[in-house]
Amino acid sequence: MYSAPRILFAYLNYWFRASSGKGHGIHSPFVYSFIRDVLMDRRTHPSWASVEAARKKLKADKRLLQVDDFGAGSVSGASRLRRVSSIARLAAKAPRYSRLLFRMVAFYKPAVVLELGTSLGLTTSYLSLANPAAKVFTMEGAKEVAAVAREQFQSLALQNIRLIEGNFDQTLPVFLKEQGVINFAFIDGNHQRDPTLSYFEQLLPHAGNDSVFIFDDIHWSEEMEQSWAAIRQHPAVRCSIDLFFIGIVFFHKEFQEKQNFCIRY
Ligand SMILES: C[S@@+](CC[C@H](N)C(=O)[O-])C[C@H]1O[C@@H](n2cnc3c(N)ncnc32)[C@H](O)[C@@H]1O
């Protein structure tokens, strides 16, 4: 992971490079609609309050969990004790981004949603509430963390989520064997270059024309910047949008010219 000053520098670089998304300059009607109808939509949704109440409780939850460490910077097989409160503060995506994902699911109505990296299930809950008709699959390797996520899904009465426990290295290929098109994938676990590229490559055969894949923390390290560069340059990706903390890719074959956007959010 980059140091805090290095991330700040990368962020400033993004901010000055990025388009405001307002006014002219975005010639793609698809991206223009994404900006107007999804990115800049300022409405709130009544269901968000229940997830934020759950977040508040989790932030005050002093239970200690044994957390198996799979992600970037981990020693293979290592585990350590972490408080639920600390996981809720540090691992969960901020509401602003979970709500953006909610709006994307509500707008594009993907039938099959996949999240890699459930953690305590806060973003999963947003994905589930955005379209109760969607099937939401979420994967988590840390057993005790997954158990707390299950508690959340139960207490929020979310019926359309299936949580798959285990290391992505084993669970993802098995899951994908059973799946056709994945309409929406949020890759938010194991922020290292090779695993991220491997998840992308495994998911690619499941990308339909209207699929959207979202990668988290694309600028948090040199490795993640390398994986984001490789993903957006992939010939199957017809449009990419860099929002700094997340990167979004679309596969529409009718986009004859590949377009890479960097938009302020
Ligand atoms: C950043 S957190 C996910 C946050 C969640 N998406 C949210 O917004 O609330 C990443 C999670 O991925 C899990 N993870 C990372 N690498 C994994 C792997 N190889 N297999 C299974 N789980 C993994 C970690 O245990 C962690 O809980």
**Does any domain span residue 86?**
no
pLDDT band at 11, cuts 50/70/90? very high
**How many domains does one find in the chain?**
1
Would you call 227 helix, strand, or coil by DSSP? helix
Q: Whose CA is nearest to atom 14 of ligand 1?
A: 189
Exposed / middle / buried, residue 41 (Cβ in 10 Å: 0-12, 13-18, 19+): middle
Of all atoms in ligand 1, which is nearest to the CA of residue 186? 6
Residues with CB under 6 A from ligand 1: 70-71, 91-93, 115, 117, 119, 122-123, 139-142, 145, 167-169, 188-190
Residues 172-196, mean pLDDT to the nearest whole number? 96
**Does any domain span residue 239?**
yes
**Does any domain span residue 182?**
yes
Triad 184, 254, 188: Cα angle to 5°: 20
Of all atoms in ligand 1, which is nearest to the CA of residue 92? 9
Determine the residue type at 196. T
pLDDT band at 74, cuts 50/70/90? very low
On whether the CB atoms of residues 168 and 189 are closer than 8 A, the answer is yes
Identify which of 81, 169, 190 to mutate to test ligand 1's pocket (most ligand atoms within 8 A of the CB).
190
Residues 248-254, mean pLDDT to the nearest whole number? 96
Determine the residue type at 41. D
CA of 83 to the centre of ligand 1 (A): 16
CA of 117 to the centre of ligand 1 (A): 3
**Does any domain span residue 246?**
yes
Determine the residue type at 37. D
What is the pLDDT of the chain when averaged over all its residues? 93
Answer positive or negative: Cα dihedral of 126, 129, 131, 132.
positive
pLDDT tops 90 at residue 25: no
Could you tell me the pTM of the whole model? 0.95
**Does any domain span residue 108?**
yes
Q: Whose CA is nearest to atom 27 of ligand 1?
A: 119
Phi, psi of 245 (to 5 degrees): -80, -20
Closest CA to 126 of 52, 43, 189: 52
Tell me the residue ranges of DSSP E strands in 16-78. 64-68
Identify which of 81, 136, 143, 168 to mutate to test ligand 1's pocket (most ligand atoms within 8 A of the CB).
168
The string of DSSP letters for 229-248 reads HHHHHSTT--EEEE-SSEEE
**Does any domain span residue 102?**
yes
Given this model, what pLDDT does residue 71 score?
60
pLDDT tops 60 at residue 164: yes
**Does any domain span residue 71?**
no
Range of the domain at 24: 4-49+93-262
Of all atoms in ligand 1, which is nearest to the CA of residue 166? 21
Given this model, what pLDDT does residue 256 score?
86
| Residues of the chain above pLDDT 70, percent | 95
How many residues are given for the chain? 265
DSSP assigned state of 44: -
CATH of the domain at 129: 3.40.50.150
Given this model, what pLDDT does residue 21 score?
72
Q: Whose CA is nearest to atom 11 of ligand 1?
A: 117
Given this model, what pLDDT does residue 75 score?
42
pLDDT tops 50 at residue 79: yes
Of residues 245 and 69, which shows the higher confidence score? 245
The label of the residue with tokens 């993903």 reads: 231
DSSP assigned state of 206: G
